[in-house]
Structure 1
């Protein structure tokens, strides 16, 4: 049997030098790998040309939207809600002023002072917003039933984020005790007529690039 003694013939200084080289080389290659993996991930957060084009205004039909019903459409790859609120739902809003973090919508989460009211809408019956929780970007659920066993006796109807438990009223105002810091965003929109709403711009074509304080 022939024994490999090549490493044994080298003196300790040579072995130490080789060991340092291998450690350094491995560290450098590992760092390059991390950077190489991180760059595509970071780049994915930047909007592509296609995503920017997808930000075009969207028309939403409300002709068949019954009171209490909500429709969801996609705009800029985000869910936009249009909720046709009942008179009973509208009546709950004033009762929740003291329970809201920002009851008067002072934070920059709506496109205009025209929707900086208790309804957070151009017309009280129709609530239009981006359905993304302002905590960590989950999509809340529509929970319209007051005092339901699931939501508890104090619940008057609204939106609930299942990820971390944020609560919003039927105007998208975040309730105290929720981890979400801000109200749901009210994006630019206007009524084309009594049957359609255009979201993502105003009638004069402005505010197509509007963004809230946070999504």
Structure 2
């Protein structure tokens, strides 16, 4: 009887040990699976919306931030800059109404923006991916030198963006001029306004 009790006790111990080890094995096998399905912090950050505080952004200035690994330029346009952009002869621009596909609806007007005074553009030239320089005033080249307000065609350039790699010029709304290496306007990313002073890059107005 004593030997039978010992055997029963040993059997219960072995069963319990096997159950515990099995549970540990299931947990160990599950951890890599959970980690696989859960995006890394870097992956989440790469596509996550980015908030920009524009409360201190003065007229004629821009701030640059990163979204999805690309630079995004947020510019506050002065009334004079808005007027120069609106009054620009559409015939001088390759795509004045941004009819190229995959652009938000608010990218179709002359200012390509939700709010006339705030422009939001991906700062990557649509030619070969260089970063255009911001020159808000007319007649200033990529080195800050006066060119008497003349572009390649001999007419006034209203200021905007100049690509130092191959000379493409864009206006203050990111619209490319004709006869430039770049053939597409600068991209307007999806964005919305969380408040009067905060713009969210990476979310469209419908997400607000």
Of 78, 88, 106, which residue of structure 1 is paired with 2:80? 88
**Counterpart of 1:188?**
190
TM-score using structure 1 length: 0.69
**C-alpha distance in structure 1 between counterparts of 2:95 and 2:180, whole Å:** 12
Q: Deviations over 1:114-138 (max 9, x none)?
A: 3311110001000001010000000
Relative to structure 1, the CA distance from residue 134 to residue 117 in structure 2 (aligned partners, 3 Å threshold; closer, same or farther) is same
**C-alpha distance in structure 2 between counterparts of 1:168 and 1:73, whole Å:** 20
Determine whether 1:176 maps to 2:178: yes
* More off after superposition, 76-85 vs 148-157: 148-157
Structure 2: 5+ residue stretches without partners: 1-38, 150-155
Determine whether 1:58 maps to 2:50: yes
Figure out how many residues of one structure are paired with residues of the other and give that number. 158
* More off after superposition, 93-102 vs 60-69: 93-102
Kept after mapping to 2: 8 A contact 1:174/1:184: yes
**C-alpha distance in structure 1 between counterparts of 2:195 and 2:126, whole Å:** 31
Of 45, 54, 68, which residue of structure 1 is paired with 2:60? 68
Kept after mapping to 2: 8 A contact 1:109/1:184: no
Q: Cα RMSD over matched residues?
A: 1.9
**C-alpha distance in structure 1 between counterparts of 2:121 and 2:148, whole Å:** 25
Kept after mapping to 2: 8 A contact 1:109/1:186: no
Q: Structure 1 residue 201: deviation in Å?
A: 1.2
Kept after mapping to 2: 8 A contact 1:144/1:157: yes
More helix by share: 2
Of 142, 163, 166, which residue of structure 1 is paired with 2:165? 163
Relative to structure 1, the CA distance from residue 109 to residue 159 in structure 2 (aligned partners, 3 Å threshold; closer, same or farther) is farther
TM-score using structure 2 length: 0.71
Q: Deviations over 1:11-38 (max 9, x none)?
A: xxxxxxxxxxxxxxxxxxxxxxxxxxxx
Determine whether 1:103 maps to 2:105: no
Of 106, 111, 120, which residue of structure 2 is paired with 1:119? 111
